[in-house]
Amino acid sequence: MDHDLNDSSNKLREVTLPVEGMSCASCVLTIEKSLQKVDGVTAAAVNLALQTAEVKFDQQKAGINDLINTINSAGYDVPPSRPD
């Protein structure tokens, strides 16, 4: 039988990333749509007031670097922050 150390409930991870450079609702939409296109991302919610992006993703398909790269490609910065 399989002894899988990766509990399936741990595959999904949720992170909140700081995002710099957003100024309006369309920035929010741009980032949300970009993140939602990333393979493994199941949900993305960007908060303009807090300047954050809350992302749920499958850790077997995507990593935090993928999320940061995606935000960067959309034209916004993710400043280095406290881990998690």
Residues that bind Cu ion (CB under 5 A): 23-24, 26-27
Beta strands in the chain (DSSP E): 12-18, 41-47, 52-58
Amino acid letter for position 45: A
The minimum distance between CB 75 and Cu ion, in angstroms, equals 10
Question: Of the two residues 22 and 67, which places its CB atom closer to Cu ion in the complex?
Answer: 22
Query: Judged by CB, which is closer to Cu ion: 46, or 67?
Result: 46
Question: 9 or 26, CB closer to Cu ion?
Answer: 26
- CA–CA separation, 72 vs 51, rounded Å? 14
